[in-house]
Amino acid sequence: MTDQTAPVSLEEFNHRLAEISEAMPKRLRQCAEFVAQNTDRIAVSTVAELSAGAGVQPSAFMRFCQLLGFSGFSEMQKMFRETYAQKWPDYATRLENLRASGADSPSALLAEFVEAGRLSLENLASSIDAGSLEETVNVLAAAPMIHIVGFRRAFPVASYLSYAFEKMDIPAVLHDGVGKLNPRHAIRKGDVMIAITFAPYSQETIDLAAYARGLGNPVVAITDTMTSPLRRIDALTLAVSEVDVGAFRALSATLSLAISLAVAIGAKRDQAAQ
């Protein structure tokens, strides 16, 4: 049992998990890794289902909950249910919330998204680590081939990067899953992977990034929270968060980071060629 106060939000939960996960015993670390990769399942699953997914006994999962400050699994699940009820409603509910707040007119929505984009860009400018950005550009500029993966919300960013690289004659492969094709065999030793995913994380993206890392290749992660599973494969991480509007999230900051990367990589390769 722990005397810590239980987290009351997903942000607090992620912060505490990031603080203590490395010092956890093996079984509890398995719980932490599973929870970090499957936050969308906590609110709707039983402790038996989650412990089986983590590969541990239910008693170990209960100890994990207590280590985080909860009295048990029920209290942790309650926090996730309350958090996701507020943050990740279905699209019909999101639209209804916008109508109820009077923010569903086109002009009001535009103003809201413009303001959210501005805040997201300001957050990115103030939080991005210049050293990590420079290191990322150097690694990608030297890559014989850049592989890009991002599904669902991250797909527009992945496809835009692929388009930008093609226009600058930078060798790149977009792993888009079209036709259920899986071109992971195209990843060669020395290539670099750009993996883009945000909570709740895409398992396809995580698996492909882990495969590339398993070959000894560098992985660049464009992701959000401190507990993003991409951090656990020793990826070069560029963190970006987006301010939402009624639980709808645009990609203003993420796309700005992506085009900045592409242009910087193109410039670095041109310098090397000269």
User: For the chain, how long is the longest CA-to-CA vector?
Assistant: 63
How far, in Å, CA of 22 to CA of 57, rounded? Answer: 20
- What does the pLDDT read at residue 41? 74
Global pTM reads 0.66
- What does the pLDDT read at residue 245? 73
pLDDT tens-digit profile of 190-200?
999 999 998 77
How far, in Å, CA of 138 to CA of 91, rounded? Answer: 40
Domain ranges in the chain are 10-87, 106-273
Q: Is domain 10-87 annotated with CATH 3.30.360.10? A: no
- Residue ranges in the chain whose pLDDT is less than 70: 1-3, 40, 44, 83-104, 179, 181, 225-227, 246-247
Q: Using CA atoms in the order 116, 227, 68, 43, what is the torsion angle rounded to 10 degrees?
A: 70
Using DSSP bridges, classify how beta strands 248-249 and 244-245 pair: parallel, antiparallel or unpaired.
antiparallel
Cβ neighbour number for residue 49 with a 10 Å cutoff: 13
- What does the pLDDT read at residue 257? 94
- What does the pLDDT read at residue 92? 60
- What does the pLDDT read at residue 5? 83
Q: Is domain 106-273 annotated with CATH 3.40.50.10490? A: yes
In three-state secondary structure terms, 147 is strand
- What does the pLDDT read at residue 1? 44
